[in-house]
Structure 1
Amino acid sequence: MTTTAAVDRHDGAAPPNLRCETDGPVAVITIDAPEKLNAMGRTFWPELREALAALEADGSTRAVVITGAGDRAFSAGGDITSFAALADVTAQRAFQQDCMRTFAAVEECPLPVIAAVNGYAMGGGCELALACDIVVAADTATFGMPETAVGLVPGFGVLRAPSVIGRHWTKLMMFAGERVDAATAQQIGLAQKVVPAAELMDVARALAVRVAAAAPLAVAAGKSLVNRGVDRGEFDHSTAALTTLHATADAAEGIAAFAEKRAPVFEGR
């Protein structure tokens, strides 16, 4: 039997960013803002942590699939227009720390987490795919880390992408905003499976069922051992760098240009 629940909202105004459905040992978490290409709102980050913690605690879930609502996007990334509300260094640092805690929660969750990438996986969406254990991509999927276009860098992506796709591909995607299609993503290790878009969720669920049938303690131990080289101290360096970038005139210009749908003019300050 399938149960469906929206993740509780975290303030009086913002709707929940996620839906969570469970069917036997498999849970599907859907980023649920298709009208915004599933952009990650400010409350997305704690909601995803809470959803994973609840699934870990329920005693019956053994595998998790994360996907995006609709057929256009897994997630277009963070809601860039909301960055302008990060008015001071304290708010900017707290936001970066919140994001990092969520990526860490995906990596550290003892449950295997599969990303079912159904369209654009840009910025934070690409980073979320990097944090997951396995990536299944629709043949229409597109990956990118274009944060330099708004004067920032992908704080988690710069830490994880080099070990997944190599330093040079990471630099190409970061410096030039290079977009990677599904076939290329599979070639460079960003996706492990590419399937027709219409079959994506069936394939992802079937894979989750296979994983869920394995011994859960062995899967959890295996995940922990594979990830044992992960250095959480890197998060502090990345948070510090992003906090500094948020305070630059270039970042303010990039965010304003994005909101105004115009090309930014960067001055290197």
Structure 2
Amino acid sequence: MDFQNIYIEEEGSVAVITIDRPKKLNALNKQTIKELHTAFKELDKDQDIRAIIVTGSGEKAFVAGADIAEFASFSVKEGRQLAAKGQELLFDFVENLTTPVIAAVNGFALGGGLELAMACHFRVASFNAKMGLPEVSLGLIPGYGGTQRLPQLVGRGRAMEMIMTATMISADKALEFGLVNYVVPLEELLPLCRKLADKITNNSPSAIKQAIKAVNAGYSYDTDGYDKEIRAFGECFGTDDFKEGTTAFLEKRKAQFKGS
């Protein structure tokens, strides 16, 4: 895969996607969104990859937002299309990816950057991280799922405050709010994410896929999450991973999961 704005590194069963537009503080433009879509899609198909980490190049920014120059002159119709296409290609796509995705938030995660981090299955931040949705300061609202995912993660009141004041919060505050799972020094960010990813890869890929679907169903307005859980639980009984996992437990050995 040849990319202009991102690069991928693979180590064992873990892939790291790095957004690499340092002069633009890794801001998301159409090209970068397309490249990220392609990367996530291909890695999700790769049975050897069992966890994905996404981060930004350098120490200043995970993703500092969208590339404003690209849409400053858009019409109402073009604005709707921008949001719809972005959610389809990247934000909703990542949230529903069946390979676990960890956001390694280094530095600024603003606007579309925070929305990308929130679309990941969970987040780890460095101490220098700053997070916020500043869109109202531009006469906009978050358009890549921010008005939906932020309340789910931090609660309605805090989300309303963050969105309406356009305030950035610190990594420690993000941890307090439940927006991130861990906060560590910058040099420990990727090592911790890799450690967490390695723990994930020790478990059943087929069960993890079902768990992601079941958890996401609980946040869908038109889906019964409990029913989805029951069905997903039942599906697990038909997998080779279930047979291997239960057999390994009874034989008191480590399971060797193949993801089928």
Q: Give me the TM-score of the superposition, normalised by structure 2.
A: 0.81
Partner of 2:165: 176
Instruction: Measure, in 1, the Cα distance between the counterparts of 2:179 and 2:11.
Output: 27
Question: Contact between 1:139 and 1:183, CA under 8 Å: does it hold in 2?
Answer: yes
Aligned to 1:207: 196
Equivalent residue for 2:249? none
2:80 counterpart of 1:93:
yes
Q: Once the 2 structures are TM-superposed, how far is the Cα of residue 229 of structure 1 from its aligned partner?
A: 2.7
Amino acid at match of 1:205: R
Q: Does 1:49 align with 2:37?
A: yes
Contact 1:27–1:63, Cα closer than 8 Å, also in 2: yes
CA distance in 2, matches of 1:232, 1:21: 37
What SS does the corresponding residue of 1:55 show, helix, strand or coil? Answer: helix
Deviations 1:206-254 (A, max 9, x none): 1111111111011111111110133388xxxxxxxxxxxxxxxxxxxxx
Select 1:82's aligned residue among 47, 58, 70.
Answer: 70
Cα RMSD (Å) of the superposition?
A: 1.4
Matched with 1:196 is 185
Q: Measure, in 2, the Cα distance between the counterparts of 1:210 and 1:85.
A: 46
Find the partner of 2:125 among 110, 123, 137: 137
CA distances 1:127-154 after superposition (whole Å, capped 9, x unpaired)? 1111111101001111010000100011
Q: Secondary structure at the match of 2:217?
A: coil
Q: In the alignment, does 2:176 pair up with 1:187? A: yes
The answer to whether the aligner puts 1:64 opposite 2:52 as a matched pair is yes
Looking at structure 2, the residues matched to 19 and 107 of structure 1 have their Cα atoms a distance apart, in angstroms, of 20
Alpha-carbon distance between aligned partners in 2 of 1:80 and 1:230, rounded to the nearest angstrom: 30
Matched, 1:164 2:121: no
Q: After TM superposition, give the deviation of residue 107 of structure 1 in Å.
A: 0.7
Q: Is the contact between residue 46 and residue 98 of structure 1 (CA under 8 Å) also seen in structure 2?
A: no
SS at match of 1:222: helix
| Structure 2: 5+ residue stretches without partners | 223-260
Task: Among all aligned residue pairs of Structure 1 and Structure 2, give the percentage whose two residues are the same amino acid.
Answer: 40
Query: How far is the alpha carbon of 1:91 from its aligned partner?
Result: 2.6
Q: Displacement of 1:172 after TM fit? A: 1.2
* Number of aligned residues: 220
Q: In structure 2, which of residues 114, 129, 132 is the aligned counterpart of residue 126 of structure 1?
A: 114
Instruction: Output the CA distance in 2 between the equivalents of 1:6 and 1:21.
Output: 13
**2:94 alignment partner, one of 100, 106, 130:** 106
Alignment-mate amino acid for residue 98 of structure 2:
P
Letter in 2 for 1:201: L
Measured at CA, do residues 52 and 162 of structure 1 come closer, stay the same or move farther in structure 2, by a change above 3 Å? Answer: same
Could you report, residue by residue, the CA deviation over 1:62-119 in whole angstroms, capped at 9, with x for unpaired residues? 0000000000000001001111253x34432221111111111101100000000010
Counterpart-to-counterpart distance in 2, 1:20 and 1:32:
10
Distance 1:50 1:6 in 2: 10
Give yes or no for contact 1:40–1:79 (8 Å, CA) kept in 2: yes
Counterpart of 1:247 in structure 2 is: none
More contact order relative to length (CA 8 Å, sep ≥ 6): 1
Provide the C-alpha distance between the structure 1 equivalents of 2:212 and 2:50, rounded to a whole number of angstroms: 13
Aligned amino acid, residue 118 of structure 2? L
**Partners in 1 of 2:137 and 2:187 — Cα distance?**
32
Runs of 4+ in 1 over 3 A off after TM superposition: 230-233
User: Matched residues in 1 for 2:23 and 2:141: separation?
Assistant: 25
Q: Which secondary structure does the structure 2 equivalent of 1:43 belong to? A: helix
Unaligned runs of 5+ in 1: 8-15, 234-269
Quote the Cα distance in structure 2 between the aligned partners of 1:178 and 1:204. 27
